[in-house]
Amino acid sequence: MKALNIGLVGTGLMGRAHSNAFRQAPKFFDLKRRPVLKAVCGRDAKKAQAFADNWGYESVESDWQSLIARPDIDLIDVAATNDAHAEIAIAAAKAGKMVMCEKPLGMNPAESRKMVAAVEKAGVPNMVWYNYRRAPAVTMAKQLIDSGKLGKIFHYRAKFLQDWTINADVPQGGPGTWRLDASVSGSGVTGDLLAHCIDTALWLNGTIDSVSGMTETFVKQRKDVATGKKKEVKIDDASAFLARFSNGSLATFEATRYARGHKALNTLEINGEHASLAWDLHDLHRLQWFDHRDDAALRGWRSIHLSEGEHPYVGNWWIPGCQIGFEHTFTHQVADFIAALGKKTPAGPTFKDGLATDYVTDAVLKSAKTGRWTKVKQV
Ligand SMILES: NC(=O)c1ccc[n+]([C@@H]2O[C@H](COP(=O)([O-])OP(=O)(O)OC[C@H]3O[C@@H](n4cnc5c(N)ncnc54)[C@H](O)[C@@H]3O)[C@@H](O)[C@H]2O)c1
């Protein structure tokens, strides 16, 4: 099997998730290319070496430019903070490398458009790590919708709730808290959490025409890790919006980091003419399903445990009854990316799909500022 040499940038949470996925994918899926952990790049040389030793990377680079310059690297994987995505991904594409990039694609649509142009000009395979599409229950939701089992879709409802920034002493900037610094993150929960919900929604239910959003920053000033001084907080702490999909359905989306008790409550519910379905990341191996066509006496919500060979991806793992989890969504993404190499239709979400999500988040932020319904730009 031909090697697919990976060069990873970023040794944090997602660096670990991706490394694990590259290692797992060829062990559980029949792949035509075998990912090889060739080199990792981290800003702290000692940490990067420890990361390489733990995950089995063959070598370490101290800057991403040197990593991209290496002729033995086929694919650059961008798992760095949001402010670094565009520069690295564009340089990688220019060097003819395949690019996988974490979400959100860019800091804003202007950056993302340049990233799309770069991969398209270079003709290199590309993907954004919106991993939740590949939770088996979410993939099954897509299959059920596409098969027409729900009929006409009326409602789409999504939430992503956390509670880790309620304390006003949580600083902004620096490792672990860069998400609170708009100059590194681009936006707050809109680009960080709602972007996941939006990618899934666009995939399941098609394009969004217009949105009406509101955002709030509950803690206005936080200590800047770099200077130790209080600085204005420029991210949105909470964000909610109404949306009209092109298929005529109505939607509500909500994300916050101020919902005490919720750690990553990423949920969706879709109500169609014949059936409804619901999914919840905290219980990610289950799909809730209600079908109005069932016998009236037996009609009710079914909680389907996705652990059978008939369920998407699941047959490649263990035995019926033994479920899989969060890490597997990334492994599925690697498997699908490799399976689509050389094919006419690439595995999504591509950079273009990532830009489509950015257009929605941008419209939400604009609408929140103006207080008006805002049209969503289409790719
Ligand atoms: N798909 C998901 O479910 C998911 C989950 C969490 C984070 N993310 C995304 O993944 C990315 C990374 O998030 P994280 O949680 O892993 O953050 P993290 O803080 O754990 O890690 C970020 C890493 O990027 C490195 N980095 C930043 N700039 C760099 C540069 N110029 N050169 C080399 N390394 C650089 C840091 O040193 C660090 O190792 C973000 O874009 C985030 O939005 C996605």
129 lines ligand 1 (CB under 6 A): yes
* pLDDT 10s digits, 138-152: 999 999 999 999 999
CATH number at residue 185: 3.30.360.10
The pLDDT mean for the chain works out to 98
Closest atom of ligand 1 to CA, residue 175:
19
Q: Which residue has the tokens 């399941």?
A: 204
Ligand 1 pocket test target in 8, 13, 281 with most atoms within 8 Å of CB:
13
* pLDDT 10s digits, 253-311: 999 999 999 999 999 999 999 999 999 999 999 999 999 999 999 999 999 999 999 99
Q: Supply the pLDDT for residue 196.
A: 98
* Ligand 1 mean position, distance from CA 81 (Å): 4
Q: Are residues 346 and 235 in the same domain?
A: yes
- Of 131, 166, 191, the residue at which a domain comes to its end is 131
* Ligand 1 mean position, distance from CA 19 (Å): 13
**DSSP assignment string, 87-133:** HHHHHHHHTT-EEEEPSSSSSSHHHHHHHHHHHHHHT--EEE--GGG
Q: What is the pTM (predicted TM-score) of this model?
A: 0.98
43 lines ligand 1 (CB under 6 A): yes
* pLDDT 10s digits, 79-117: 999 999 999 999 999 999 999 999 999 999 999 999 999
10 lines ligand 1 (CB under 6 A): yes
Q: Are residues 272 and 336 in the same domain?
A: yes
CATH number at residue 42: 3.40.50.720
Q: Are residues 119 and 169 in the same domain?
A: no
Q: Are residues 300 and 181 in the same domain?
A: yes
Judge residue 97's burial from the number of C-beta atoms within 10 Å of its C-beta, 0-12 exposed, 13-18 middle, 19 or more buried: buried
Q: Are residues 113 and 217 in the same domain?
A: no
- Per the structure, how many domains does the chain have? 2
pLDDT at 1 over 90: no
- Of 76, 108, 131, the residue at which a domain comes to its end is 131
Q: Are residues 67 and 151 in the same domain?
A: no
Query: What domain range includes position 75?
Result: 2-131
* pLDDT 10s digits, 203-261: 999 999 999 999 999 999 999 999 999 999 999 999 999 999 999 999 999 999 999 99
Over range 179-196, report the average pLDDT.
Answer: 98
- Of 81, 110, 131, the residue at which a domain comes to its end is 131
CA dist 105 and 93 (Å) reads 14
Kindly report the backbone phi and psi dihedral angles of residue 11, in degrees, each rounded to the nearest multiple of 5, phi listed first.
Answer: -120, 30
Q: Are residues 115 and 198 in the same domain?
A: no
**Of 268, 14, 37, 11, the residue nearest 153 (C-alpha):** 268
Q: Are residues 6 and 39 in the same domain?
A: yes
Over range 189-198, report the average pLDDT.
Answer: 98
* pLDDT 10s digits, 310-348: 999 999 999 999 999 999 999 999 999 999 999 999 999
Q: Are residues 156 and 103 in the same domain?
A: no
41 lines ligand 1 (CB under 6 A): yes
Q: Are residues 101 and 195 in the same domain?
A: no
79 lines ligand 1 (CB under 6 A): yes
Q: Are residues 112 and 173 in the same domain?
A: no
Sign of CA dihedral 357, 177, 256, 301: positive
Q: Are residues 70 and 112 in the same domain?
A: yes
